[in-house]
Amino acid sequence: MNSDGPILILTASAGAGHLMAAQAVREALRTRLPQSSIEVLDVLQATSAFFRALYAKGYLGLVRHAPSAMGMLYEATDRPNRHARDALRRGFQNLNARRTAEYLRSRRPRLIVNTHFLPAEIVGCLRRCGRLRCPQATVTTDFETHRLWVQPPTERYYTATAEGKAYLETWGVDPASVVVSGIPVRAAFNAPLDRAAFRRQQGLDCGRPLVLLLCGGFGVGPAETLLAELLAIGEDAQAAAIVGRNPALYRRLQAQAARSHRAVRVIGYTDQMHAWMQAADLVVTKPGGLTAAEALVCGLPTVIVSPIPGQESRNSDYLLEHGAAIKVNNLRLLRYRVGRLLAERPRLEALRAAALSIARPCAAKYIADDLLALLDRQAR
């Protein structure tokens, strides 16, 4: 291990949450190691164009057009190794990750932290072959864990829940190497916000409940239907829809909002997600791990719609089991369910209290402190 080398935080741009987790960990580490080089690298950017398109766009295509196939893939890869199948998958990934491997070896890092299982697998392979010598840690980004996160040798795993830790142990992971930390979110989600001032700044009424609609980091989902349902709730509520990096969807929702003559804001990509979540009274969203963790930290009740089979359906189960969310299966009932919830303030407050009770606001700090302790032990 190179004790003077950089700390590399590796992720993959298959969904926005993995990158957000990487940024949260980097932010926490930088406050503790201000003079150190701490970099976030999307390993897909160093692979072949074919593999990058297959991995990132293939993921998005499954989510958008074949969610049931996504669930089947999730379940199929969460089973015991079938050596021929796994060898083929790993061989294909490693062939397309040669530039990533060369970059990692050239940087001679003192520590690698993964927020996606793809780089964890690449690093594990390099270490087993003796081509890379540095410890690695892996931060899981959903409330349950999956077999693909298990990529030895890994000195530390960070899980969102005790159940996630227990599941890793069923795959032979040493319990001493697993830390239940929570999902890391940026410090901004813990900062106090003047909700009234933010609402005024955004042209929203301070006296009416605000429903936040998240259309996903890629704008995936039946956004027009969801917005129409929220606009139909009545004059007692107002809405804000965050679209993400999807200009076409942004234009469609803007036109829809203009036709409604209602109090609604449509936002594209924003770095103010923390403020929107703190200013809102509830959020309508798909339950991605990072989105759910951020909402919990903000004490924001969640209305779950259209979870992707697999990790999102399991995140949904977790939130529902702990009373921090409700789920709407029929989108045509969204206006009814949200309107009723807004009218029942005690129930809304119970959801908020439940969210705060399972939130892990200091997860990023906890992970950073533990990583420094790991580095200290490795240096002895």
- Residue pLDDT, tens place only, 314-371: 999 999 999 999 999 999 999 999 999 999 999 999 999 999 999 999 999 999 999 9
Is the model's pLDDT at 137 over the cut of 80?
Answer: yes
Mean pLDDT of 133-141: 97
Measured CA to CA, the distance from residue 267 to residue 205 in angstroms comes to 17
pLDDT of residue 145: 98
55, 97: one domain: yes
Range scoring the smallest mean pLDDT among 100-114, 154-168, 219-233:
219-233
pTM (2 d.p.): 0.93
180, 54: one domain: yes
Q: Which residues contact 136 (CB under 8 A, 6 or more apart)?
A: 111, 112, 113, 114, 120, 123, 124, 127, 153, 154, 155
pLDDT of residue 202: 95
As a whole-number percent, the residues of the chain with pLDDT over 70 amount to 93
The domain in which residue 31 lies consists of 7-185+361-379
Is residue 305 within 8 A of residue 337, CB to CB? The reply is no
pLDDT of residue 136: 98
In tens, the pLDDT along 32-42 reads 999 999 999 99
63, 47: one domain: yes
User: Which of the pair, 186 or 84, is modelled with greater confidence?
Assistant: 186
How many secondary structure helices (H) and strands (E) does the chain include? 17, 12
Residue appearing with tokens 């449509």: 266
209, 110: one domain: no
105, 195: one domain: no
pLDDT of residue 88: 45
Mean pLDDT of 159-188: 98
Is residue 164 within 8 A of residue 141, CB to CB? The reply is no
In one letter, which amino acid is 282? L
Measured CA to CA, the distance from residue 182 to residue 140 in angstroms comes to 9
163, 53: one domain: yes
366, 335: one domain: no
H-helix or E-strand spanning residue 38:
strand 38-42
Range scoring the smallest mean pLDDT among 177-181, 257-261, 319-323, 346-350:
257-261
In tens, the pLDDT along 85-120 reads 555 455 555 656 678 888 899 999 999 999 999 999
As a whole-number percent, the residues of the chain with pLDDT over 90 amount to 74
164, 207: one domain: no
Is the model's pLDDT at 235 over the cut of 80?
Answer: no
Range scoring the smallest mean pLDDT among 14-28, 47-61, 260-274, 285-299:
47-61
Q: How many other β-carbons are positioned within 10 Å of the β-carbon of residue 203?
A: 9
From the list 104, 66, 296, the residue with the least C-alpha distance to 189 is: 296
From the list 379, 375, 376, the residue with the least C-alpha distance to 113 is: 375
Average predicted confidence (pLDDT) for the chain: 91
Output b/e per residue, 251-283; b: 16+ Cβ within 10 A: ebbbebbeeeebbbbbbbeeeebbbbbbbbbbb
Label residue 219 by pLDDT band (50, 70, 90): low
140, 242: one domain: no
Q: How many residues does the chain have?
A: 380
From the list 191, 193, 188, the residue with the least C-alpha distance to 210 is: 193
Q: Which residues contact 273 (CB under 8 A, 6 or more apart)?
A: 242, 294
Mean pLDDT of 48-74: 80
Measured CA to CA, the distance from residue 295 to residue 277 in angstroms comes to 7
pLDDT of residue 98: 79
Our count of domains for the chain comes to: 2
63, 163: one domain: yes
25, 128: one domain: yes
pLDDT of residue 298: 98
pLDDT of residue 40: 97
Label residue 217 by pLDDT band (50, 70, 90): low
Phi-psi region of 146 (alpha: psi -120 to 50; beta: other; left: phi over 0): beta
Measured CA to CA, the distance from residue 112 to residue 154 in angstroms comes to 10
Q: Which two tokens stand for residue 169?
A: 């142990």
pLDDT of residue 209: 96
DSSP track, 276-344: HHHH-SEEEE---HHHHHHHHHTT--EEE-SPPTTHHHHHHHHHHHTTSEEE-SSGGGHHHHHHHHHH-
Distances (CA, A) of 52 to 141, 198, 212, 296: 21, 39, 32, 32
Measured CA to CA, the distance from residue 157 to residue 294 in angstroms comes to 21
168, 313: one domain: no
Q: How many other β-carbons are positioned within 10 Å of the β-carbon of residue 176?
A: 7
pLDDT of residue 154: 98
pLDDT of residue 84: 46
Is the model's pLDDT at 60 over the cut of 80?
Answer: no
